[in-house]
Amino acid sequence: MNPIQSAAFNNEIALAQQFIARGEFETGFAHIESAHVIGQAFVVPHARSHWLMLKVEFRRKKPLAAFGQIVRLFLGILGSALGVVPIGNTGGSNVSMFEKMPIAPELQDIIDGRAPPEARQ
């Protein structure tokens, strides 16, 4: 990861953890999804995002979604290691793990190594 990606990924994870600690699972999960999009091309960040999604699904008491995250955790590691990931996929069990998805412009800037607009001043 480049420094911009790493900082943004870590920021999204930190925000997710703050919301999840307060029981705001939906908002926290949305931040994990952003982290997933930023880090899915890299084995450790990709695995970390799915691990956190798995933990949230257990806390939300959604066993099928948790199972989906277990599958995604292992396949995501393999996909990242082989360089085969569905670009833009948010990683939740509510979408196909093979579906490519559009990337929000601010996340694309981060992936491309450009600072997000608010950091460019």
Per-residue pLDDT of 60-80, as tens digits, reads 999 999 999 999 999 989 999
pLDDT, tens digit (0-9, with 9 covering 90-100), for 21-59: 999 999 999 999 999 999 999 999 999 999 999 999 999
Q: What is the pTM of this model?
A: 0.91
Does some domain include residue 107?
A: yes
Does some domain include residue 71?
A: yes
How far apart are alpha carbons 83 and 54 in whole angstroms?
23
Does some domain include residue 9?
A: yes
Helices (H), 40-62: 43-59
Does some domain include residue 11?
A: yes
Residue 120 has pLDDT above 50, yes or no: no
Does some domain include residue 121?
A: no
Q: Which domain holds residue 92?
A: 3-115
pLDDT, tens digit (0-9, with 9 covering 90-100), for 93-113: 999 989 999 999 999 999 999
Does some domain include residue 16?
A: yes
Task: Count up the domains in the chain and report the number.
Answer: 1
Structure tokens at 77: 């590691």
